[in-house]
Chains A and B, each alone.
Chain A
């Protein structure tokens, strides 16, 4: 606490400043009243997104809107990353590894299907960019890819520890992505423990939730697919509130009700599921998002820890999702559904 501000006090204050720029409930209510995308743009110009939206030519599309908002997040993030010392810098990097995994997987599959690298690079999430990413396309098969490129990226241990070279060639890309993500979450959790202090306390709570949510999603999405129970079990992270008993139950769950029983044994998730009507899976995502946002906002209740940076990234992403949702609803004339997708932050 006494030494935190030596390196990170400034950035913490900055990120808290950024957090003040997040849209409030009042902002969302106003956005919901918008009749066209132009109105939305006009309104957003008055917020922190202003400089990023100002020069956009007039016929707006949802995608350009979302792109502009993402640019704002990326600019903020770059600023933070450039000003960060250690171990905050590592922490910030860790936050973006998730996107990096997505980017690598995207480029790799794209290259294997012989798509244009430039086009793929444009599609990459800018938060998950790293220097060597363009050279990913050099590799023609997975083994080369690992040998030539991935070794130099921070993701290398995830590849080498969790995937054999046979896996690289044969594994379903989605399974691979989730295996990597699991390794990443485990590593991230270990890292925040090494950092220790308030950071460890705050972050392990957030990461536990993230791990549990992934476990839940994987289970939910793999029902009825060829993913076996053992494979499924391997994709769960090695921590979280569900670890290990809840995960064992999730691994054998075959329908939503079984998942529900498994999840409800865990106190915090009981309340989440109690908000869900029986057999209602549609709203689950939103409720989970809301729970996540609640937890993320709670991180701002404490000072002198790194969780605020992670929380800022996540909140901003959620906000971009919200904006996208509102924009889609407005563009597709489905205004009665607007409320279904917005997760209010403040």
Chain B
């Protein structure tokens, strides 16, 4: 167990409780995010499929449209400016709205037709009006598709971004936060166990010492009863030794923390 991959906490019971709570939170968050990522991915694939379809259709429609433009130009000559000048207000507008997928807001565009186009009806009256109208119609479908494609593309990009962040979060939770928390918990547990064992050992030692003391006192009693004096320094030395053991233990802990 690496010492790096955990939080710097004091291994106490309360911290352990906090860590455990965090771990529970992280696990829950992870599973939720995972679900979100799945949902987004599903939508992403849908959009991708649609984009591919639309793009293919777009290719066809654009080809047809430009061809009909060529046809109109063949019949009429250059009519660009005539069309420009007879247009004063857009009849086709794009409305932007939002769509919510698993908390991600996707921009959505819709083409809206407004008003009549009476002035355009007479363009190319003398020659090629029919072709111009055809051309107009085919470009209308092209614009519809274009708007749809734009909507899909932006949704695609936003979704892509969202999926990336979500995946990052999921991965962060899964590979960084959770292991670290687990490590920390394990560490704290280990430390606590250690402390407990130490405590236990010390208690035992103290008990032993006490016993020894008691025995010594008994022995002293007995010796006093037998030979008094001479053995007074021994208990003091033992007490020093015990203090030193504690000191090293503390030093160790210092190094660790």
Note whether A and B contact each other (Cβ less than 8 A).
Answer: yes
Binding site for B on A (CB under 8 A): 62, 105-106, 109-110, 112-113, 115, 120, 123, 125, 172-175, 177-178, 181, 214, 217-218, 220-222, 224-227, 235, 281, 285, 321, 324-325, 328-329, 332-334, 337, 341
B125 A222 Cβ-Cβ under 8 A: yes
B130 A113 Cβ-Cβ under 8 A: no
A332 B66 Cβ-Cβ under 8 A: yes
Known: A109-B85, A113-B84. A222 touches B122 (CB 8 A): yes
- Distance, CA A109 to CA B88, complexed state (A): 12
Q: Verify if B74 is at the interface (C-beta below 8 Å from A).
A: yes
Contact pick for A324, options B73, B118, B121, B127, CB 8 Å:
B73
Q: B134 — nearest CB in chain A belongs to which residue?
A: A282
Q: B70 — nearest CB in chain A belongs to which residue?
A: A328
- Distance, CA A217 to CA B119, complexed state (A): 18
Interface pairs A-B: 10 shortest CB-CB = A221-B129, A328-B70, A109-B85, A174-B122, A225-B121, A174-B125, A113-B85, A221-B125, A178-B125, A178-B126
Distance in angstroms from B66 CB to nearest chain A CB is 6
Q: B80 — nearest CB in chain A belongs to which residue?
A: A123
- Distance, CA A227 to CA B119, complexed state (A): 11
A115 B85 Cβ-Cβ under 8 A: yes
Known: A218-B126, A328-B70. A226 touches B121 (CB 8 A): yes
- Distance, CA A105 to CA B78, complexed state (A): 13
- Distance, CA A42 to CA B253, complexed state (A): 89
Distance in angstroms from B211 CB to nearest chain A CB is 102
* Chain B residues, Cβ within 8 Å of A217: 125-129
- Distance, CA A51 to CA B126, complexed state (A): 34
B129 A220 Cβ-Cβ under 8 A: yes
Q: Is the interface of B mostly helix, strand, loop or mixed?
A: helix
Contact pick for B74, options A125, A177, A325, CB 8 Å:
A325
Given contacts A113-B88, A175-B125, A321-B74, 4 further A-B contacts (CB under 8 A): A105-B82, A173-B86, A281-B130, A334-B67
Contact pick for A332, options B63, B80, B81, B126, CB 8 Å:
B63
Q: List 24 A-B contacts (CB under 8 A).
A: A106-B82, A115-B81, A120-B81, A123-B80, A172-B119, A172-B122, A174-B123, A175-B122, A177-B125, A177-B126, A178-B126, A217-B125, A217-B129, A220-B129, A220-B130, A221-B125, A222-B129, A224-B121, A227-B122, A321-B74, A324-B74, A328-B67, A328-B74, A332-B63
- Distance, CA A333 to CA B64, complexed state (A): 11
Q: Verify if B131 is at the interface (C-beta below 8 Å from A).
A: yes
Q: Is the interface of A mostly helix, strand, loop or mixed?
A: helix
Query: Which has the most chain B C-beta neighbours within 10 Å: A115, A174, A222?
Result: A174
* Chain B residues, Cβ within 8 Å of A221: 122, 124-126, 128-130
Contact pick for B75, options A106, A285, A333, CB 8 Å:
A285
Q: Verify if B54 is at the interface (C-beta below 8 Å from A).
A: no
Within 8 A of A (CB), among B108-137: 118-119, 121-131
- Distance, CA A235 to CA B86, complexed state (A): 20
* Chain A residues, Cβ within 8 Å of B126: 177-178, 181, 214, 217-218, 221
Query: Which has the most chain A C-beta neighbours within 10 Å: B71, B73, B119, B122?
Result: B122
- Distance, CA A120 to CA B81, complexed state (A): 8
Within 8 A of A (CB), among B46-86: 63, 66-67, 70-71, 73-75, 77-78, 80-82, 84-86
Distance in angstroms from B78 CB to nearest chain A CB is 7
